[in-house]
Structure formats: structure tokens, C-alpha cells
């Protein structure tokens, strides 16, 4: 009776505890369901995209009549002819900069020059955590023979207080100016000329004529660094203008060779970078391509893109494009998936009219290609244009590339293009000028599936959450040992009645076995850190080809791993169970992907697609020996395939194939990719070596684990 009373009075576990036990006991089924649902949800994202809309009512794009007229277009043509003449007499782009500055001064603007040096590509570990752009600034007590000159003009707003400014940027290569760059400068000057006469301005206007001989980003980044981090040299700087064996001296004005006063306006409200691309000989109308991705997945406020799209399409008749994976546009398997989802959406819409998932097949294919490009560009962590330099200072910026369809010699078509392009830029400036505060109403976290469609953070987090959901459940199930551990515990409780002290000590030591798995993780993590720092020393080798650097990197990595295992012992020598090793690996993945999702969500999303299936399905190859032929063959093939795909160079090869349509294998290309990532201080480099690579190596350790006879016997039981 007493035992029955005790059983009745014993409290039942809470519902959340029972749910956890149930999921842990069925963790394989739960993992399959969650991973499948996550992949399906990711494929459904183009169908879930929404139309863009303006959140900030103060923008009111297109509400005012444009003031940009044909006279401004004629003035742009006149400027272009003048700069062509200056380019013919220019040495090192100096005369061009002087001509642009002279034209700015005639408009009543404040003008200054900004001189900068080319950016250094040398690897430095601290570059990922600190600003390394000061190496582009002119330093005192130095003579420089290779430098760039930015020309900056500032219009003070007649109705402003000088606390805010709008930045316009037109890049050009001062060493070799092409016809489309001349057209960009002409467009920038004509808009700047119009704004110098505008009485409605409440924000200062800054026009940066960026010298892009070292790259568009380098010129803008150097100017922004000087703008926000002033350098005050106490000595004069000598700029040696000896070019091609000829000495070029400024026009007798000695102060032009001095470090000139750097002029500033107010806080930057927004920036617009625009340039004219190569003329396209086909197409029914001119187009504008928007580039918005900044460093480490940062994006400008969506309202800025909405203003540009509305004015370009509904006011000036441009076709607006965004970057897309061209290889996916002609993909047969993607079209099959699109047709399946279209059929499924049609059926669901008959059940509930509010379920609008029946997107047309061409729209789904195009949306998927645009979405893949958006995720890829954000995941790389590299800006798609010089607008990325502004985003590093929390300034919303977009790059526009105009693609005209007219013949360069057609003056009427050129004037019409300048008229429409000038009115577009004027309209964007008008909308930003209306703002009383910074962009804040709309989204900062989004993916684009079309110029007028987006996926918000609340939607694209769903596939990532579904992929991550089984990780803690599987880790808990592996660490607990499920039914086998329970049987051993019951047996140890029964045997402890006869030999309590000895079995207590044995169970005490067994409960700390996870420390051996944690030790293996710590050694591998230390190895990954050392591997990520090796380029600092490899780049010191003079005249090393990329393939040589890649081979040296791989050999040193293997040597370091062997040395660490010699010092700490083999990962299998301490009798670490593969389940504990896998649980430790899954825990590491959960932490790494969680942290990466905060820094760059796109990188975490792509990493989850590769790592999570690889790690959840991994098990020792030796443990498959007792299975039947078919399940054993499937498990072996899936494990080996996922392990190969999860190897970082192989993963980058797949990304390259999808983005560029090229599947050629080059060992040296991996070094080029890594050099590209660290040059831009991309957090993806840290992810690859501090999260992805250690988890891949742990997965290999699990696959090659020499299962003990007791583990194989318990598995068979």
C-alpha cells in the first residue's frame, strides 16, 4: 500500500520535459522532417516574396515637377567636350581634376582635392577587427610617385543649417578615361549645376569625382576615411608628379603642391553612386542596374531602393535590373521545381484563396536566380560597388549603373538619355532632401527576388530555424545514449548493491568522458586558428604563384595537425565514444552558426545547408558493417558525398559553378578566393576557418572512428 501511495503522489514530469524526451527518442525522424521542411521552405521563398512599398511618407517621390531641362543636357554635352580636351593634355589625370574643380568653382561651390595612395593587399590578422584604411592616406615627410586625386565640390543648402548632406559620386579612371566615364562625369556635373541653383535644398550637396585608377571602392573609401577620421600633418607633403619620364609642375602656384585643406559638410543622410556602363546594341529601352550589397551582408534601407525603382520605372521609363545568376535562368531542373510549386499553389489556392503561392513559372525561375545572387553576394561579405564604403559608416547608399541602348554618335539620343538620367538623380535627391531624420522606417534585413519584390527577415529566418531545430535534440540524444545508457544505468544500480564503492567510482569516471571529446574539439579549434593565420607568413614569400601558395598552405596545415596530435595524443587513443564526439561537433555547429547568423545571416544560411545534413548523417563507416547491403550502400554514399561537398574548397567550387557557370578545377583558385575575402575583411573568411573547417574535420573523425567491439555489440542488440 505504501508503494502504491508513493507512486500516486510522485509528480509527473512537465509537458516540455516529456516532449523533449519524446523528440530525443525519435531524433532521427525529427531531423529528417526538420531538414526536409527547411529545404522546402527555402525553395518556397520566391513564392513568398512581397511587393516593395514606401514606409516613410516624407519621401513622396515624384510629387514635384523636375527642374532638369534640355538646357542642362546641353550643358552636360558642353562639359563633356571640355573634359575630353583636358584629358588629351592631362598627365596623370591632374589636368582633368583641375578642369573639374574649375567648373565647380564657376558654379559657386566650395572645392577641394583629396589625394590618396593605392590600397595595400598584404594579409594582416587584425584587419578583420580594426580599420586598416589609414594606409591609403597621405602621410607627412614622404614623397609619392603613385597617387590618386579625388575632386570634391560642396554646395551649401540655402535652407539648411549645414548639419546634413547628400553625397553624389561619379567614378572615372584618370589614367584612361573611356567614353562612358565621360558621360558619367557629364551627368554628374549637369545635376550638380542644377542643384547649385536650387532654392529648395535643405541639405548640403557633395559631389565626389572619384579617381578610380586604383578601383572605385579604394577612391571612395579613402575619402570617407579622411572625412570621418581627420589627419592633420604638421609637415608639407611632396607629391612627385614625374610620369612617363616627364615632370609636370602645377601652374606656378606652390600651394597646390601642399596638402590642401580638406572641406567637409554635415552628417551624410544618403549617398548615390551612378555611372554609365557600356552601350548595349540590343534592347527596347535603356536600363538601370541597382547594386545594394555592402560588406558582410549589410544592406541600405529598403526605402532608398523603392524611391529609385519608382522614379526610374514610373517617371523616367527605365528598365530596372538587379544582379542574377544567369546559369539558373536556363536551368531545366529549376523549371521542373517551378512547375511543381505552381501546380501545388494552384491546388492550395482553391482550398484557401488567401494562399497565393501559385507564382508563374518564369517569375519563379527569375526570382530564384535573383534570390540566389542576393544571398551569394551577401554571403561573400564583399561589397558589389563603392556604395559599400558608405555603409561601413552607417550611411545608406546605392550604386546605379546605366546601360544605354543608343549609338554614341547619336547626339539626340544622348541628350535624351542625359535628360532622363538627370531627372532620376534629381528626384532621388528631392526625396532624400525631404527627410527630417535618417532612414529608419523600412527594412535593413532583406533579400531581393526582383527590383520590386523582397523577402523580409521574418520570412527568410524560417528555413534557417528549421535546419537548426534538430541540432540540440540530436546532441542531447547522443550524449544521453538513449535506451542503451538507460539499460547500463539500471544494471549499474542493481550491481551497486553488491559492489557499491567500485561501481560508483567507475560511473564517476564515465560521467566525465565528455571531457575527452571536448579536448579533441579544443585541439581542432586551435589547429583551425593556426591555419587561418598561415597566409600572414605565406604572403612574405616573394613572387609566389597562387598554386604554390595553396600547396604550401595545405602542407603546413597537415604538418601542424600531425604535430598537435603528437603533443596531445590521438583523438581515438582515450577511448572517446563516437556519439560523444558527434554531440560535441553538433554543439560546436550550433554555436558557430548562431553567432554567424548575427554577423552575416546569408553566410550562416549557406553554411547550414552544407554542414547540418553532413553532420547529422555522419556515423562511423565501421558501424555500417552490420547493416544490409542497400541501407549500408546508401549511408556510405551519402556520408562520403556530404563529406566531399562540405570540404571548403569543394564548397567554394560549387558556389563558383552556380554563380559563374564555370566548373573548372584549379588548385590555385582557392588561394585567390581566400585572398579576395581577407582583402575585403570579410567575416566569411573567419567562418570558413573557425566554424566550417573544424566541423568538417570532426565529421571526418566520426566517419573514421574505430568503433569498439562493445559499441558494435550494443548496436546489434
User: pLDDT per residue over 105-115, tens digit each?
Assistant: 999 999 999 98
For residue 45 the three cell numbers come to 521563398
Contact between 58 and 465 (Cβ < 8 Å):
no
> Which pLDDT value is given to residue 187?
95
- In which residue are the cell numbers 561579405 written? 381
CA distance 48 to 176: 46
> Which pLDDT value is given to residue 477?
87
Q: What is the pLDDT of residues 676-712, one digit of tens each?
A: 888 888 899 999 999 999 999 998 888 888 775 445 4
In what helix (H) or strand (E) does residue 103 lie, and over which residues does it extend?
helix 94-106
Q: What is the pLDDT of residues 285-333, one digit of tens each?
A: 889 999 999 999 999 999 999 999 999 999 999 999 999 888 888 888 9
Count how many residues are written for the chain: 717
CA distance 392 to 390: 5
**Entry pTM:** 0.86
Q: Which of 318-327, 480-489, 562-571 has the lowest mean pLDDT?
A: 480-489
**Which 3 state secondary structure label does DSSP give 119?**
coil
Q: Among candidates 189, 159, 196, which has minimal Cα distance to 172?
A: 189
**Which 3 state secondary structure label does DSSP give 473?**
helix
What pLDDT band is residue 496 in, cutting at 50, 70 and 90?
Answer: very low
For residue 562 the three cell numbers come to 600531425
Q: Among candidates 278, 377, 381, which has minimal Cα distance to 322?
A: 377
Query: Could you count the other beta carbons within 10 Å of the beta carbon of residue 644?
Result: 11
∠ CA 515-471-48, nearest 5°, is 155
Assess whether pLDDT exceeds 80 at residue 671: yes
∠ CA 63-69-74, nearest 5°, is 155
> Which pLDDT value is given to residue 3?
53
Its sign, for the CA torsion 681, 686, 688, 693, is positive
CA distance 268 to 396: 9
Name residues whose C-beta falls within 8 Å of residue 305's C-beta, 6 or more positions apart in sequence.
Answer: 52, 290, 292, 398, 448, 451
Higher pLDDT, 362 or 669: 362
For residue 104 the three cell numbers come to 565647380
CA distance 362 to 250: 59
Q: DSSP letter at 137?
A: B
> Which pLDDT value is given to residue 434?
92
Assess whether pLDDT exceeds 50 at residue 151: yes
> Which pLDDT value is given to residue 633?
77
Q: DSSP letter at 692?
A: I
> Which pLDDT value is given to residue 507?
43
CA end-to-end span of the chain, whole Å? 37
Q: Among candidates 278, 303, 279, 281, which has minimal Cα distance to 292?
A: 303
Kindly state the average pLDDT of the residues 213-225. Answer: 91
Assess whether pLDDT exceeds 70 at residue 6: no
Q: Helix 578-599 vs helix 601-617: angle between axes, to the nearest 10 degrees?
A: 170
Q: Which of 81-95, 466-480, 518-532 has the lowest mean pLDDT?
A: 81-95
> Which pLDDT value is given to residue 436?
87
> Which pLDDT value is given to residue 89?
60
Q: What is the pLDDT of residues 328-352, one digit of tens each?
A: 888 889 999 999 999 988 888 888 8
> Which pLDDT value is given to residue 579?
85
CA distance 208 to 152: 5
> Which pLDDT value is given to residue 253?
47
Q: What is the pLDDT of residues 506-557, one digit of tens each?
A: 444 445 677 888 888 999 999 999 999 998 888 888 888 888 988 999 999 9
Question: What percent of the chain stands above pLDDT 70?
Answer: 80
Q: Which of 230-239, 627-636, 696-705 has the lowest mean pLDDT?
A: 230-239
Q: What is the pLDDT of residues 242-285, one digit of tens each?
A: 333 333 333 434 444 333 688 899 899 999 999 998 877 666 78
For residue 346 the three cell numbers come to 494552384
Assess whether pLDDT exceeds 80 at residue 30: yes
**Which 3 state secondary structure label does DSSP give 260?**
coil
Q: Among candidates 591, 601, 623, 624, which has minimal Cα distance to 695?
A: 591
- In which residue are the cell numbers 598627365 written? 91
For residue 589 the three cell numbers come to 555547429
Q: What is the pLDDT of residues 156-200, one digit of tens each?
A: 999 988 899 999 999 999 888 888 899 999 999 999 999 999 999
Assess whether pLDDT exceeds 80 at residue 601: yes
For residue 627 the three cell numbers come to 547493416
Amino acid at each position: 500500500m505504501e508503494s502504491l501511495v508513493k507512486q500516486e503522489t510522485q509528480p509527473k514530469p512537465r509537458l516540455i520535459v516529456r516532449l523533449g524526451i519524446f523528440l530525443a527518442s525519435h531524433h532521427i525522424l525529427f531531423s529528417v522532417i526538420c531538414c526536409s521542411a527547411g529545404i522546402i521552405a527555402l525553395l518556397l521563398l520566391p513564392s513568398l516574396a512581397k511587393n516593395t512599398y514606401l514606409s516613410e511618407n516624407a519621401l513622396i517621390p515624384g510629387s514635384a515637377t523636375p527642374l532638369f531641362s534640355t538646357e542642362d543636357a546641353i550643358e552636360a554635352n558642353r562639359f563633356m567636350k571640355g573634359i575630353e580636351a583636358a584629358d588629351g593634355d592631362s598627365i596623370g589625370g591632374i589636368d582633368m581634376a583641375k578642369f573639374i574643380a574649375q567648373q565647380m568653382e564657376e558654379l559657386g561651390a566650395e572645392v577641394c582635392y583629396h589625394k590618396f595612395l593605392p590600397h595595400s593587399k598584404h594579409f594582416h590578422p587584425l584587419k578583420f577587427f580594426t580599420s586598416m584604411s589609414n594606409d591609403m592616406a597621405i602621410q607627412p615627410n614622404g614623397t609619392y610617385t603613385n597617387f590618386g586625386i579625388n575632386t570634391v565640390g560642396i554646395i551649401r543648402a540655402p535652407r539648411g543649417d549645414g548639419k546634413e548632406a547628400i553625397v553624389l559620386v561619379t567614378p572615372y579612371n584618370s589614367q584612361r578615361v573611356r567614353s562612358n566615364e565621360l558621360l558619367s562625369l557629364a551627368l554628374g556635373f549637369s545635376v550638380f549645376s542644377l542643384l547649385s541653383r536650387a532654392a529648395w535644398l535643405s541639405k548640403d550637396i557633395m559631389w565626389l569625382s572619384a579617381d578610380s585608377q586604383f578601383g572605385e571602392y579604394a577612391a571612395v573609401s579613402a575619402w570617407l576615411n579622411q572625412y570621418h577620421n581627420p589627419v592633420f600633418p604638421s609637415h608639407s607633403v611632396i607629391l612627385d608628379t614625374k610620369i612617363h619620364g616627364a615632370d609636370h609642375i602645377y601652374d606656378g602656384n606652390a600651394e597646390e603642391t601642399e596638402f590642401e585643406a580638406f572641406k567637409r559638410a554635415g552628417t551624410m543622410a544618403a549617398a548615390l553612386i551612378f555611372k554609365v556602363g557600356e552601350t548595349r546594341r540590343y534592347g527596347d529601352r535603356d536600363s538601370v542596374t541597382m547594386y545594394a550589397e555592402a560588406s558582410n551582408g549589410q544592406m541600405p534601407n529598403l526605402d532608398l531602393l523603392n524611391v529609385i525603382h519608382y522614379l526610374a520605372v514610373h517617371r523616367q521609363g527605365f528598365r530596372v535590373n538587379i544582379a542574377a545568376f544567369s546559369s539558373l535562368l536556363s536551368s531545366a531542373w529549376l523549371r521542373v521545381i517551378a512547375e511543381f510549386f505552381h501546380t501545388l499553389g494552384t491546388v492550395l489556392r482553391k482550398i484557401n484563396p488567401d494562399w497565393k503561392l501559385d507564382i508563374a513559372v518564369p517569375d519563379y525561375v527569375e526570382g530564384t536566380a535573383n534570390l540566389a545572387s542576393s544571398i551569394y553576394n551577401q554571403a561573400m561579405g564583399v561589397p558589389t560597388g563603392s556604395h559599400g564604403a558608405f555603409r561601413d559608416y552607417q550611411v545608406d547608399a546605392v550604386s546605379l549603373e546605366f546601360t544605354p541602348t543608343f549609338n554614341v554618335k547619336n547626339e539626340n539620343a544622348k541628350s535624351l538619355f542625359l535628360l532622363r538620367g538627370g531627372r532620376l538623380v534629381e528626384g532621388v535627391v528631392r526625396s532624400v532632401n525631404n527627410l527630417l531624420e535618417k532612414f529608419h522606417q523600412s527594412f535593413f534585413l532583406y533579400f531581393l527576388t526582383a527590383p520590386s519584390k523582397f523577402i523580409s527577415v521574418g520570412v527568410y529566418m524560417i528555413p534557417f530555424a528549421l535546419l537548426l531545430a534538430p541540432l540540440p535534440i540530436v546532441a542531447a540524444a547522443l550524449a544521453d545514449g538513449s535506451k542503451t545508457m538507460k539499460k547500463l544505468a539500471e544494471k549499474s544500480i542493481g550491481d551497486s548493491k553488491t559492489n557499491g564503492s567500485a561501481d560508483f567510482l567507475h560511473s564517476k569516471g564515465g560521467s566525465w568522458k565528455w571531457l575527452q571529446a571536448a579536448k579533441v574539439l579544443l585541439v581542432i579549434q586551435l589547429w583551425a586558428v593556426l591555419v587561418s593565420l598561415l597566409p600572414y607568413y605565406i604572403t612574405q614569400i616573394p613572387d609566389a604563384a597562387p598554386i604554390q601558395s595553396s600547396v604550401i598552405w595545405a602542407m603546413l596545415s597537415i604538418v601542424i595537425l600531425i604535430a598537435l596530435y603528437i603533443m596531445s595524443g590521438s583523438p581515438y587513443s582515450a577511448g572517446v565514444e563516437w556519439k560523444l564526439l558527434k554531440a560535441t561537433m553538433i554543439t560546436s555547429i550550433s554555436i558557430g552558426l548562431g553567432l554567424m547568423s548575427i554577423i552575416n545571416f546569408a553566410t550562416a544560411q549557406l553554411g547550414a545547408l552544407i554542414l547540418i545534413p553532413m553532420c547529422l548523417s555522419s556515423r562511423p563507416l565501421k558501424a555500417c558493417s552490420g547493416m544490409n547491403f542497400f541501407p549500408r550502400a546508401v549511408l556510405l554514399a551519402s556520408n562520403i558525398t556530404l563529406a566531399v561537398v562540405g570540404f571548403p574548397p569543394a564548397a567554394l567550387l560549387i558556389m563558383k559553378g552556380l554563380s559563374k557557370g564555370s566548373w573548372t578545377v584549379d588548385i590555385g583558385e582557392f588561394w585567390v578566393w581566400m585572398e579576395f575575402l581577407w582583402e575585403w575583411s570579410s567575416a566569411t573568411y573567419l567562418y570558413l576557418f573557425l566554424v566550417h573547417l573544424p566541423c568538417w574535420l570532426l565529421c571526418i573523425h566520426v566517419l573514421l572512428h574505430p568503433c569498439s567491439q562493445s559499441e558494435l555489440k550494443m548496436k546489434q542488440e
